[in-house]
Copies of this chain bind each other. A is one copy, B any other.
Amino acid sequence: MGRLPGERAGLRREDVVAAALAILRRDGLDAVSMRRVATDLGVAPNALYSHVPDKSALIDALMDAVLVDIAVPARGGWRARVEGILTNTRRVLLAHPDLVPLFLARQSVGTNAMRLSEAMLAALHDGGVRGEPAVRAMQVLLIHTIGATAFEIPRRDDPDPAGRARRGRQAAEVLGETHPRTHAVAEHLSRYAGEKAFRTGLGWLLDGMSAP
Contact of A175 among B104, B110, B151 (CB under 8 A): B110
Copies of this chain, count: 2
B192 in contact with A64 (CB, 8 Å)? no
Q: Which A38-73 residues have a C-beta within 8 angstroms of B?
A: 52, 56-57, 60-61, 64-65
Does A148 reach chain B (CB closer than 8 Å)? Answer: yes
Q: Which of B102, B111, B146 contacts A177 (CB 8 A)?
A: B111
- What is the minimal beta-carbon distance from A28 to any residue of chain B, in angstroms? 13
**Interface footprint category on A:** 35 or more
Residue A26 CB within 8 A of the other chain: no
CB neighbours (8 Å) of A135 from chain B are: 188-189, 192
Expressed in whole angstroms, the Cα–Cα distance for A165 and B150 within the complex equals 25
Other A-B contacts than A57-B170, A105-B150, 20 sampled, CB-CB below 8 A, are A13-B174, A17-B175, A60-B167, A60-B174, A64-B171, A65-B175, A109-B164, A109-B167, A110-B168, A110-B174, A111-B175, A115-B179, A135-B189, A140-B144, A143-B143, A143-B144, A143-B147, A143-B201, A203-B208, A207-B208
Sample of 29 A–B contacts (CB below 8 Å): A13-B174, A13-B176, A17-B175, A52-B174, A57-B170, A57-B171, A57-B174, A64-B171, A100-B104, A101-B101, A109-B185, A109-B186, A111-B177, A114-B172, A114-B179, A114-B181, A114-B182, A114-B186, A135-B188, A139-B189, A140-B148, A140-B197, A143-B143, A143-B201, A144-B201, A204-B204, A204-B209, A205-B205, A207-B211
